[in-house]
Amino acid sequence: MYKPERFSSTYEQENGEAIWAFLNEDTNIIRMKTASYLSRPAIEALSPYIYEAFGDSVTVDRIKQMMGHMVRQIMERHGYRLQQGNVKITAKGSIFSRASRYVHAEGGV
Protein backbone atom coordinates (compact mmCIF):
# COMPACT_ATOMS: atom_id res chain seq x y z
CA MET A 1 0.00 0.00 0.00
CA TYR A 2 1.46 3.31 -1.09
CA LYS A 3 1.76 6.06 1.52
CA PRO A 4 1.58 9.23 -0.61
CA GLU A 5 2.36 11.72 2.18
CA ARG A 6 3.30 14.98 0.40
CA PHE A 7 2.18 13.52 -2.94
CA SER A 8 -1.47 12.94 -1.92
CA SER A 9 -2.99 15.37 -4.40
CA THR A 10 -0.72 14.25 -7.23
CA TYR A 11 -1.56 10.62 -6.51
CA GLU A 12 -5.30 11.35 -6.57
CA GLN A 13 -5.28 13.62 -9.63
CA GLU A 14 -2.62 12.04 -11.83
CA ASN A 15 -3.43 8.33 -12.17
CA GLY A 16 -1.39 7.47 -9.09
CA GLU A 17 -3.15 4.17 -8.43
CA ALA A 18 -2.33 2.87 -11.93
CA ILE A 19 1.29 4.06 -11.68
CA TRP A 20 1.66 2.35 -8.28
CA ALA A 21 0.22 -0.90 -9.69
CA PHE A 22 2.55 -0.70 -12.70
CA LEU A 23 5.66 -0.14 -10.57
CA ASN A 24 4.70 -3.13 -8.41
CA GLU A 25 4.41 -5.58 -11.29
CA ASP A 26 6.79 -8.50 -10.78
CA THR A 27 8.68 -7.77 -14.01
CA ASN A 28 9.27 -4.16 -13.00
CA ILE A 29 10.46 -5.11 -9.54
CA ILE A 30 12.97 -7.48 -11.16
CA ARG A 31 14.11 -4.65 -13.44
CA MET A 32 14.61 -2.32 -10.47
CA LYS A 33 16.52 -4.97 -8.52
CA THR A 34 18.73 -5.67 -11.53
CA ALA A 35 19.46 -1.98 -12.04
CA SER A 36 20.35 -1.71 -8.36
CA TYR A 37 22.63 -4.76 -8.60
CA LEU A 38 24.40 -2.99 -11.49
CA SER A 39 24.79 0.16 -9.33
CA ARG A 40 22.29 2.14 -11.39
CA PRO A 41 19.21 4.03 -10.18
CA ALA A 42 16.30 1.61 -9.88
CA ILE A 43 13.86 3.68 -11.91
CA GLU A 44 16.32 4.11 -14.79
CA ALA A 45 15.50 0.61 -16.03
CA LEU A 46 11.77 1.41 -16.12
CA SER A 47 11.85 4.66 -18.05
CA PRO A 48 10.90 3.30 -21.52
CA TYR A 49 8.20 1.05 -20.06
CA ILE A 50 6.69 3.85 -17.98
CA TYR A 51 6.58 6.11 -21.02
CA GLU A 52 5.09 3.34 -23.15
CA ALA A 53 2.38 2.68 -20.56
CA PHE A 54 1.49 6.27 -19.63
CA GLY A 55 2.80 8.58 -22.38
CA ASP A 56 3.65 12.24 -21.98
CA SER A 57 1.61 12.60 -18.79
CA VAL A 58 4.49 11.07 -16.77
CA THR A 59 7.08 13.58 -17.98
CA VAL A 60 5.77 16.24 -15.57
CA ASP A 61 8.28 16.86 -12.77
CA ARG A 62 5.82 16.38 -9.91
CA ILE A 63 4.70 13.00 -11.29
CA LYS A 64 8.31 11.89 -11.73
CA GLN A 65 9.02 12.93 -8.14
CA MET A 66 6.01 10.92 -6.97
CA MET A 67 7.28 7.89 -8.90
CA GLY A 68 10.65 8.24 -7.18
CA HIS A 69 8.84 8.35 -3.85
CA MET A 70 6.94 5.20 -4.82
CA VAL A 71 10.10 3.39 -5.92
CA ARG A 72 11.75 4.12 -2.60
CA GLN A 73 8.86 2.50 -0.73
CA ILE A 74 8.92 -0.50 -3.06
CA MET A 75 12.67 -0.99 -2.79
CA GLU A 76 12.64 -0.64 1.00
CA ARG A 77 9.86 -3.22 1.20
CA HIS A 78 12.16 -5.59 -0.71
CA GLY A 79 15.08 -5.14 1.67
CA TYR A 80 16.93 -2.32 -0.09
CA ARG A 81 18.11 0.94 1.37
CA LEU A 82 18.97 4.26 -0.21
CA GLN A 83 22.62 4.34 -1.21
CA GLN A 84 22.74 7.67 -3.03
CA GLY A 85 20.25 10.24 -4.23
CA ASN A 86 20.50 12.58 -7.20
CA VAL A 87 22.45 10.12 -9.39
CA LYS A 88 22.74 11.26 -13.01
CA ILE A 89 20.83 9.08 -15.47
CA THR A 90 22.94 8.22 -18.49
CA ALA A 91 20.48 6.14 -20.53
CA LYS A 92 19.63 7.85 -23.79
CA GLY A 93 15.99 8.91 -24.05
CA SER A 94 15.18 8.46 -20.36
CA ILE A 95 12.33 10.57 -19.00
CA PHE A 96 14.42 10.96 -15.83
CA SER A 97 17.59 13.03 -15.54
CA ARG A 98 18.45 12.09 -11.95
CA ALA A 99 17.23 9.41 -9.54
CA SER A 100 18.13 7.42 -6.43
CA ARG A 101 20.33 4.37 -6.29
CA TYR A 102 19.62 1.55 -3.86
CA VAL A 103 21.65 -1.28 -2.40
CA HIS A 104 20.38 -4.42 -0.75
CA ALA A 105 20.63 -3.92 3.00
CA GLU A 106 22.21 -7.33 3.54
CA GLY A 107 24.29 -7.53 0.38
CA GLY A 108 21.84 -9.82 -1.41
CA VAL A 109 19.84 -9.30 -4.59
Paired with 101 in beta bridges are 84
Does 31 score more than 80 pLDDT?
Answer: yes
Q: Which domain holds residue 30?
A: 5-104
Question: Where does the pLDDT of residue 106 fall: very low under 50, low under 70, confident under 90, or very high at 90 and above?
Answer: confident
Does some domain include residue 96? yes
Does 34 score more than 70 pLDDT?
Answer: yes
Select from 61, 62, 66 the least CA-distant residue to 23: 66
Number of domains in the chain: 1
pLDDT for position 20: 98
Does some domain include residue 109? no
Question: Where does the pLDDT of residue 109 fall: very low under 50, low under 70, confident under 90, or very high at 90 and above?
Answer: low
Does some domain include residue 90? yes
pTM for the model stands at 0.95
Does some domain include residue 76? yes
